[in-house]
Amino acid sequence: MEVHGRHADLRRAIRMSVESCCLGEYKIGLAVSGGVDSTIIANELNQLGIRNVSAFSVVLSGTEDGIRDLS
């Protein structure tokens, strides 16, 4: 299998996973870190038109890690 086919399979699997978590009327919580995984999930939620999402990031005092502005 070529790389493009694997990429498409991975995208489909991620989309299906995100969709399955968004069933019903429940509010979605997304922990964002600025890393690849939370960015991909946020993008999928956006592409799916899911707007009932609360995003949060944990920032430890005295560190530069985490996202401080989620607007």
Q: What is the pLDDT of residue 69?
A: 63
**45: three-class secondary structure by DSSP:** helix
pLDDT, one tens digit per residue, over 11-68 is 999 999 999 988 877 888 888 877 889 889 999 999 999 888 888 877 777 776 666 6
Query: What does pTM read for this prediction?
Result: 0.72
**28: three-class secondary structure by DSSP:** strand
Angstrom distance (rounded) from CA 44 to CA 19: 9
Q: Which of 71, 70, 30, 35 is nearest to 48 (CA)?
A: 30
Q: What is the pLDDT of residue 51?
A: 85
Q: Where are the domains of the chain?
A: 3-56
Q: What is the CA radius of gyration of the chain?
A: 14
Angstrom distance (rounded) from CA 24 to CA 22: 6
